Copies of this chain bind each other. A is one copy, B any other.
Amino acid sequence: MNKKSFASDNYAGIHPDILQAIIDANQGHSKAYGGDIYTHKAIDLFKKHFGENIDVYFTLTGTAANVLGLSSLLNPYQAIICAETAHINTDEAGAFEKYTGSKLITVKTDNGKITVDDIKNQLFAIGNQHKVQPKAISITQGTELGTLYTPEEIKKISNFAHANNLYLHMDGARLCNAAAALNVPLSVLTKDVGIDLLSFGGTKDGMMFGEAVIFFNNNLSKDFKYIRKQGMQLLSKMRFISAQFIALLSNDLWKKNAQHANSLAKFLKKEVEKIPEIKISREVQANAVFAYVDPKIIPLLQEKYSFYVWDEITSEVRWMTSFDTTKEDILEFVAFIKETIAEAF
């Protein structure tokens, strides 16, 4: 691939500092399965960012972090309420249903964010033996549509959740992007606003792989080590995930990478807005730019640049930036868009 991609932040490679951490950790033997010093240190760093009372477990994929984490919250006859656009609903190939045996109760949203009212409407069946029983709410921060919840919005949801005996899960595959965009510490969007369970994503912020399942409610985590192993997500040479997290959570690397990606998305948006044939379709709050592009143009652009068509019907596309996207990449891409449009019409 000659060109930088705008398909997803996981088309990028490994941030150099993180790769160096892997290299440095490759010294001699270490206790497998998490008994090593890197894992202990990484957990300490997580506690520094998210509070001392958390329990942290590393998994290999984001789907696993979501699904195994959620499986610790509920029984199969219980259900999760989430946005119709939630990654667990749309892009995990039914992993949630397969692994938990539970049901997702989805609500339509305009912008990927659910509200207390959306949730209220799904609670009518509590106590009815013929219906799945809502047990948790899952929100994504930043959302699959590039939008962000404010801390206040999350707090409202968690207050409602807890008042109704529901847990609150956050899919934080891009939590770093959200925190960087809102310019707040990671705890302000999680611990401080009542999140019970967090899937914290490292891959999309510059790691080679690795996600963390963070429990803010210790009662929920007591058997998670068995869940992780039975869920096929216990890495033997764990130190190599842990070393990556140590790098990511040190020296504000998580924030720098995310800020970079976010700012390049804003820059892309600004440049694209100059092209009259293209219309930005959603607010750009993190590192995703959505736009309506003429369906004739899309395949021509995709000859050189990878990106996803989000909605075939409305001809809406998604462009993601990442920690290594450069202004030059953007300018080159935008020039190519202009050129393609000029030739096409």
Contact = CB atoms under 8 A, between A and B. Distances in A.
Interface of A: 1, 3-5, 7-8, 10-14, 19, 22-23, 25-33, 36, 60-64, 67-68, 75-79, 90-95, 97-99, 101-103, 124, 129-133, 203, 208-209, 223, 225-237, 239-240, 306, 312, 324
B91 A240 contact: no
Q: How many copies of this kind of chain does the complex include?
A: 4
Given A4-B29, A132-B230, 8 more contacts: A7-B32, A13-B25, A63-B232, A75-B226, A91-B130, A93-B230, A129-B225, A209-B235
B236 A99 contact: no
B29 A130 contact: no
A79 to B, nearest CB: 7
Overall SS of chain A's interface: loop
Contacts of A62: 236
A251 to B, nearest CB: 20
A229 B306 contact: no
A232 B231 contact: yes
Contact of A90 (B25, B95, B131): B131
Contacts of A226: 75, 77-78, 93, 129, 132-133
A105 B91 CA distance: 14
B60 A235 contact: yes
A241 to B, nearest CB: 9
Contacts of A223: 75, 77, 133
